[in-house]
Each structure stands twice: as structure tokens, then as C-alpha cells.
Amino acid sequence: MSIWEYANPKRFMQTSSWVLPWVTGLAAMALVTGLTWGFFLTPDDYRQGSTVKIIYIHVPAAMMAINCWAMMLVTSLVWLIRRHHVSVLAAKAAAPIGMTMTLIALFTGAIWGQPMWGTWWAWDPRLTSFLILFLFYLGYIALWEAVEDPDTAADLTSVLCLVGSVFALLSRYAVLFWNQGLHQGASLSLDREEHVADVFAYPLWLTIAGFVLFFVALVLFRTRTEIRARRLRALEARERMA
Amino acid sequence: MLKVRDLGVSRGGISILDGINLMLAPGAALVLTGPNGIGKTTLLRTIAGLQPAAVGTVELPPEGLAYAGHTDGLKATLTVAENLTFWARVFGQDRIAPALDAMDIAALADRPAQNLSAGQKRRLGLARLLVTRRRLWLLDEPTVSLDTASVRLFAGAVRSHLAAGGAALMASHIDLGLGDAATTLDLAPYRAKLPVPGQGGGFDEAFE
Amino acid sequence: MLALLLRDLRLATRAGGGFGLSLAFFLIVTVLVPLGVGPEGGTLALIAPGVLWVGALLACLLSLDRIFALDREDGSLDLLATAPLPLEGLVTVKALAHWLTTGLPLTLVAPVLAVLLNLPPAGYGPLTLSLLIGTPALSFIGAFGAALTVGLKRGGLLLSLLVLPLYIPTLIFGAETARRGAEGLASETPLLLLAGITLGAVAILPFAAAAAIRVNLR
């Protein structure tokens, strides 16, 4: 029994059809509990007041924005090396979700930044990196849209994802070099000194889990749609030829 | 010189030709025929290595081949001689005069390619084949827009190529004027069978 | 390979080859900036390195879609792909030809245009050097983008969308080198990083671009 069996479209459709409701349910539970806990049951921060509570959306969304690209990189590599269609369709399905997460992180950041730093936007390295990440998502999605043949599109977008990853990483360091910022350090890290207090951290972990599950559910759902769309195309093409 | 075994080719992810076996010995020429859309061009491009074969193998001579598609790869602002010299040098050759003479375009050598007629361009495209000095030719509709005199010129070039130990695989739906020098293969029997809908295993069938 | 380089250079300099178009574009951008920003010398001197780098980058972008699209249209790309010349070599030569007809002339006129923007005297050396070292990366990254979009009918706009994010690190280090030079600071570090990007792009991107062309040809 190997993991590659799930790369078979038929097998994937079967398995995902019973996994999907569970993941969706768990995601809803984690999100509802985590957000309620975070918004209503934690004290206001002594410096930042209640604005700090946007952290429960901002941080998970920002994490997923990056993780989503990492997932796309892995699935694109799997496609280029092992030619599993489900893999590349999952990358295609994930891209708009990642782009939305990036946008959410940028917008919630702006709403948080306004009262804290007195500005909606600053060319801070973290903010700039996310804006650049958004541009990479945009290019990736646009290339999928532009190429008609699905296999050609899969190959080209995978190569772009690979090269894009290298340049996204380079951009991250270039931006750090270019400007030191005012963004605070990591909200969660193993270094106890700088990370947020436990009262805030527990619901934060829960919302992060919720966002991860939510992301998985969305990717499964969208991949299923992509597979159905491909099948429809194949059937139509066959119809035309017959 | 060219060996094709159990070749299947596909276009846009749909299998169109199947089970093709070909052998070309030095001095042999084969003309592929068949109605429009059967996959003559796709087959030639697959053999030329421009697209991967769906199944099967293609064995080529070690020094490679000379391919000529629907377009001639000419640069409008370069002269006839410049165009030809470029292709000769890409293939590691340097003599273009014999090819100019064989295709009867020596008089046009200094004219920019944009001032040539369609037939003259085609002749220049065929002269490009001669300068490559490759033994295996793959030609896709080589006589399009040629007048009868030029078709005879072309047939003569192919004959002397074959006589010199070369081989040619051509696709055409009109007579190339080669007479007995070439055998003809109709591709219609090799048309790929469509899988019966519903028997392909559900979602797998979309991803062949 | 040399034959291909010479052909591309000859094509670029013949009528309709587009040589000089990007230079003219660079000039116009540089003239438009003071008209938009105002003629105040101090402000212009401050933004001159960045404006020149962005201008050079956009001028470079302008001619990218010609790298492979023209050869694709007239069938040369098919024939070159079946010729005894590795596609990786083809990409390298074409990117080099693009740099010789775009990046190098842009580098050479940049100091002249810098006069218009009131660049401090100390900035000329670093600006020219950063463009000389950085523009090859622009051509090679651009060739990769052109290879991705060579099969598309109207790939021009998409090409810009794909290539511009990839240009970001080059732009940052290039403009930073020029800016530090203009302010009289040491500019070795960004210059070395810029050189690293160029070398990396020259070494790796031809392979990615060749893979993209193979996909687009089938």
C-alpha cells in the first residue's frame, strides 16, 4: 500500500469523498471555537487594546499563504517527476486559495497596522514580501488560464512554480536587505522570550489548526471539481471525434 | 536507417494513430497519405522528436535528420544566401552553391526573402534540406505552392538524394511526381480506436 | 551557435528588427519622470538611481516577446529544435543576443541620461557597473518568461505579468548598488549579490527555458 495509490484519479475521488465531510466538520469546529475563544474570552492587551484580536485571523492566514505555495511546489515537483495528474490539479486548485490567504493577511495587517503604527501600509520587509508573494500567485494563476491544453499548462505552470519559488525566496532576502522594518517579530516561536502570552497563544493554535483543516477541505473540494472538469472535457472531445 | 516500432501518437491528449511500424533503408522513400486531420503532421513531428510518442519507439540515424514542416523558417529581412548560409552553419556545413543550383534559385541569391514569391520561398525551403547534408529527410507537404516545373525539380532532388544513399519520409495528399521511386502508405487503417465511453474506468479515462 | 548569434544580431539591426526601440523608450521614460515629479534638482538626484534602473528594466521587458515568438511564427523554432544544437544552447545564445542588442546599449546610454536626472558625480561608476552586471540577468530571466509564453497567441501581457515578479531581486540589488554609490557609501555588497543573481540565472535558467520550449513545441 503506497501513498501513490491516491494519485490515481478514481482512487482519489473515492477516498476524498468520505474524507471531505470530516475535514470540513473539524475545520468548522476548530474555527468557531478558536475564533470565539480568541475574540470574546481573552483579555485585552494592555498596550494594544482589543485590536490585537485580529491576530486570530491575520497570523493563520499569513501562515497558510506561505504553506500553500510550499504545497504547490511539492505537488508541482511530483507532477514533473512522476506525472500524477491529481498532484498538479491539486496545485492548480490551491493557487486561488493561497492568493486569497495572502490578500486576507495583507488586509487584516492593514487594519491592525493603522491604529498601531498609524499607517495602513508601510514598505516593511514582511509586508513587501507578502505583496510580492501575491504577484507570484497572480502570475501562476494567469499562466494556467492562458494555456489551453491541460497537460501543456500543467508542465509550464510547474516549471514556473519551481523557478518562482527560487526567486520568491531571493526576493524575501533582497527585501530584508533593502529595508529593515517595523513589523513585530514572530508571534509564535519556540523562543519563549518574544512570543505572545499563553492566554493568547492557545486560541491562536486552535485557529491555526482550523485554517489548516479549512485549507485542506477547500483544496480537496476544488481538486475534485478540477478532476470532474477534466473528465467532462475528455468526454466532450470523444463525442466530437465519434 | 529509420525504424519505427508500434508507434502511437496523440494530439491534444487524444490518441489519433496507433500501431505504426515503419522501416526505411538507404535509398528508400515512403509517402504517407490519408485524409486531412488523420495525423500525418503529428506523426512526422513525433518521429522528428518534436513531441513525445504516446507508445512505441523511434530509431533514428546517429547524425540526426532534416525536417521540413509547413513553414520554411525563413527570415524576411535576410537575403536568400544569408538564410541558406545560416542553416548550413547550424548543421555544421558551409557550402550552399550546389543547393542554390539544384533548386534553381542561384539568380535570387542576393534578394531579401520577403521579395520572393510563395513558390520561390518553398524552393528555398527545399534548398535548406540540401545544405544540411543529412541522410534522412522528413518532409511535410513539400510541394505546396510549387508549379509543375518546380515539382519536377523537387522530384529530381529527391531522386538524387535517394541515389546517394539517402532516405525520405514524406506526407502529402497529392502526387509528388516520384513515380516508382517511392512507396505509398495509407494511414487510414492505423486510426486509433476510440475507447467505448463508460468502460474506461470512470475518472481514470480522462487522464490517458 | 556563433551562426545563430550572428543571425540574431543581424536580424535585430535590420529594418523592423526593433533595435533602438528600447533605447528610445528608455530615453522617453527618463524625460517623463522630471516632467511628472518636478524639476527640483535635489529630488531628482535622490530618485535618479531607482528611476534609471526601473526604466532600463521596462525597456528590457519591451523586446522580450520577440526572443522566441518570431522564430515560432516562421517555423524556425521547429527547425532549430530538430537541428544538431541543444535547446539549452539555443536559449543561451538567444538571451545573449538579446542582451547585446538591449541590455548593453541601455547600460551605455544610462550615464548620459543620468545627467538629465542630476545624478551626483560619485554615482556614475556604480550605476554603470550595476547595469552592466545586472542586465544579463534581466535578459536570461526574460528568455525564460518568453519560453513559457511562446505557444500563446497574445502572450505579451502575460509575459510581463510572469517576468516582472522574477525581476524583483535583480532590481533591488541593482538599484541599491547605484543608490549607495550615489550617496558615496560602499556598494560592494549589493553589487556582489547582484553578480550572484546574474551568474545563477545564466547557469540555471537556460535549462528551465529549454524545458518550457520543449513543452510548447509539442
- The full set of domains in chain B, from first to last, is 2-64+135-206 (3.40.50.300), 76-133 (no CATH)
Phi, psi of C141 (to 5 degrees): -65, -40
C176 and A177 within 8 Å at the Cβ level: the answer is yes
- The ranges assigned to domains in chain A are 17-241
Distance from CA of B65 to the nearest CA of A (A): 26
Q: Which residues, other chains included, contact A156 with Cβ-Cβ below 8 Å and sequence gap of 6+?
A: A143, A147, C148, C212, C215, C216
Identify whether the C-beta of residue B105 lies closer than 8 Å to the C-beta of residue B120: yes
| B107 pLDDT more than 50 | yes
3-state class (DSSP) for residue B194: coil
Which of B200, B32, B37, C217 is closest to A240 using CA atoms? B37
Percent of chain C, pLDDT > 70?
99
Distance CA B124, CA B114 (A): 12
Count CB atoms within 10 A of the CB of residue A29: 14
Quickly tell me which residue has 498538479 as its cell. Answer: A88
Q: Which residues, other chains included, contact C136 with Cβ-Cβ below 8 Å and sequence gap of 6+?
A: C95, C99, C103, C198, C201, C202
A231 and B203 within 8 Å at the Cβ level: the answer is yes
Q: Which residues, other chains included, contact A187 with Cβ-Cβ below 8 Å and sequence gap of 6+?
A: A55, A59, A195, A196, A204
**What's the angle, vertex CA C130, arms to CA C126 and CA C136, rounded to 5?**
160
Predicted model pTM: 0.89
Which tens digits make up the pLDDT trace of C82-132? 888 889 999 999 999 999 999 999 999 999 999 988 888 888 999 999 999
CB contact A181 to C (< 8 Å): no
Q: pLDDT band at B200, cuts 50/70/90?
A: very low
A156 and C216 within 8 Å at the Cβ level: the answer is yes
Phi, psi of B42 (to 5 degrees): -60, -40
Which helix H or strand E contains B58, and what residues bound it? strand B55-59
Give the C window 105-134 contacts with A, CB below 8 Å: none
CA dihedral over C170, C56, C2, B51, signed as positive or negative = positive
**Mean pLDDT, residues A176-186 taken together:** 68
Angle between helices C156-182 and A125-146 (to 10 degrees): 160
| B179 pLDDT more than 80 | no
pLDDT of residue A85: 85
Identify whether the C-beta of residue C162 lies closer than 8 Å to the C-beta of residue C145: yes
pLDDT of residue A187: 61
Which ranges in chain B belong to alpha helices (H)? 40-47, 80-90, 97-102, 118-132, 148-163
Q: What is the mean pLDDT of chain A?
A: 85
| A159 pLDDT more than 90 | yes
Chain C touching partners, 3 or more CB pairs below 8 A: A, B
pLDDT of residue A190: 47
Distance CA A140, CA B187 (A): 40
| A47 pLDDT more than 70 | no
| C181 pLDDT more than 80 | yes
Distance CA B104, CA B126 (A): 11
pLDDT of residue B194: 66
Q: pLDDT band at A200, cuts 50/70/90?
A: confident
**What's the angle, vertex CA C117, arms to CA C116 and CA C122, rounded to 5?**
105
Q: Report chain A residues whose CB lies below 8 A from the CB of B197.
A: 235, 238
Angle between helices C124-148 and A150-178 (to 10 degrees): 160
Percent of chain A, pLDDT > 70?
86
Q: What is the mean pLDDT of chain B?
A: 82
Residue of C nearest to A162 (CA): C208
Distance from CA of C29 to the nearest CA of A (A): 24
Round to the nearest angstrom and report the end-to-end CA distance of chain B.
31
pLDDT of residue B123: 85
Which tens digits make up the pLDDT trace of C32-85? 999 998 888 888 888 899 999 999 999 999 888 888 888 888 888 888 888 888
Q: pLDDT band at A149, cuts 50/70/90?
A: confident
CB-nearest partner of A167 from C158, C166, C176: C166
